[in-house]
Amino acid sequence: MSSTFPPLDRTDHRLLDLVRVDAAKPLHEIGDLVGLSPSAVQRRLARLRAAGVIKAQVAVLDSRALGLAMTTLVLVELESDTAPNYATFRESLRSEPAVQHCYHVAGQWDFVVVLLTADFDAYGQVAERLFLTNPAVRRYETMPAYGVEAGNG
């Protein structure tokens, strides 16, 4: 952990585990689970937000309800390790709504891109824009992913 973050105690970690699963859980319920009053929970969470430990609260949407049933992992190798290639590729990803995550990785691939599309045809259209016609991309490999519900404990 960076030295710019405050030291976290066991209660902080328990609070973070709880809000990571459900940030909308009422403060009194969180307090009951960690042994604090709702106001103490609120103060700790405010401190964690102010320190940047909690960066944002987001809504996790059901992709199937939105008609986005296909998750695809794409391994990407760029033509060269030059800054212009990286910039060109990163810009193409930023402008594509299907991109959910992108990781710059070490090894034989340069990036892992996570895409969310309606189906394989929609994926093909995205792949053509991002990978096939992108001069920065040397090669890519597609891996459709089938999600499973992950538990937290």
**Closest by alpha carbon to 56, among 45, 66, 44?**
45
**Closest by alpha carbon to 123, among 102, 100, 98?**
98
Q: Are residues 25 and 92 in the same domain?
A: no
Q: Which two tokens stand for residue 66?
A: 């939105």
pLDDT score, position 149:
55
Domain range enclosing 27: 10-50
What's the total number of domains in the chain? 2
Q: Are residues 34 and 99 in the same domain?
A: no
- CATH code for the domain of 34: 1.10.10
Give the predicted TM-score (pTM) of the model.
Answer: 0.70
CA–CA gap between residue 131 and residue 153 (Å, rounded) = 38
**In order along the chain (153 residues), what is the average pLDDT of each group of 10 residues?**
76 95 95 96 95 90 84 94 84 94 94 95 96 94 78 49
DSSP 34: H
Q: Are residues 78 and 41 in the same domain?
A: no
pLDDT score, position 1:
43
